[in-house]
Amino acid sequence: MKTKKLVSTIWCEGCSGCHMSFLDMDEKLVDLIKNGMAFSATPFTDLKIPPHGTDIGIIEGSVATDTQEEEVKMMRERCKIIIAMGDCAVFGGIPTMRNRYETTEIFSRAYKQAETNYNQHLPAGEDISKLLAKVKPVNEVIKVDYYIPGCPPTPEAIYEVLSKLIEGKTPELKGKLLSYE
């Protein structure tokens, strides 16, 4: 009996579309599980912290807050292979649109000038994460081993990478599997 490959995913500054695309593998998920994939901490299992020695860590979304920075570093410590999944994790994506502006400007627009905002209070408290000055792709914070670009990546691309990794091969995205949009 083969040993199970533990897969863990987290969701940073993104829209969860990549996780939806992950679930969109449908019956191929069963294939992967039959071939030896097992989930540890993921939004699907509602667990937050993967165990040490997890085989594959998948990160969706860019790094925009100090909490996300810590989470991403935690993933690197606990996982042997890190995959950046989706355009936000790979390139920075839509959240980098705010890099044009200062964080104070962004807060002011969202919590003070917004047409639907009547209280005009900035959110405050120790529990709330701090915005980083710039939104960064994951590879600016930690070392990333494999990249699956796409907004979202197709289920076929995710399957290609995971199935190759479970077999112990090096995945490579080519042709229609490689897409920036």
- Residue 115 as a binder of another protein (CB under 8 A): the answer is no
Of the listed pieces 50-58, 71-79, 108-116, 137-145, which binds another protein according to CB under 8 A?
A: 137-145
Of the listed pieces 24-32, 51-59, 106-114, 138-146, which binds another protein according to CB under 8 A?
A: 138-146
- Structure token pair of residue 59: 């990160």
Q: To the nearest whole angstrom, how small is the minimum distance from the Cβ of residue 174 to another protein?
A: 6
- Residue 172 as a binder of another protein (CB under 8 A): the answer is yes
DSSP state of 168: T
* Member of 14, 57, 61, 93 binding another protein (CB under 8 A): 93
Give the residue from 31, 37, 69, 33 showing the smallest Cα distance to 54.
37
Q: Which residues make beta-bridge pairs with 62?
A: 13
Pairing assessment for the beta strands 5-11 and 54-60 based on DSSP bridges: parallel
- Residue 132 as a binder of another protein (CB under 8 A): the answer is no
Alpha-carbon span 166 to 181, nearest angstrom: 26
- Residue 94 as a binder of another protein (CB under 8 A): the answer is yes
Give CA separation, 99 vs 48, 66, 109, in Å: 28, 16, 14
Handedness of CA 56, 93, 178, 46 (dihedral sign): positive
* Member of 63, 64, 92, 132 binding another protein (CB under 8 A): 92
* Member of 21, 60, 136, 154 binding another protein (CB under 8 A): 136
- Structure token pair of residue 162: 């995971």
Nearer to another protein, 41 or 87 (CB): 87
* Member of 137, 141, 162, 165 binding another protein (CB under 8 A): 137
Nearer to another protein, 58 or 84 (CB): 84
- Structure token pair of residue 153: 């990546």
* Member of 25, 142, 144, 158 binding another protein (CB under 8 A): 144
Q: Are 64 and 132 in contact (CB under 8 A)?
A: yes
- Residue 59 as a binder of another protein (CB under 8 A): the answer is no
- Structure token pair of residue 24: 């969109």
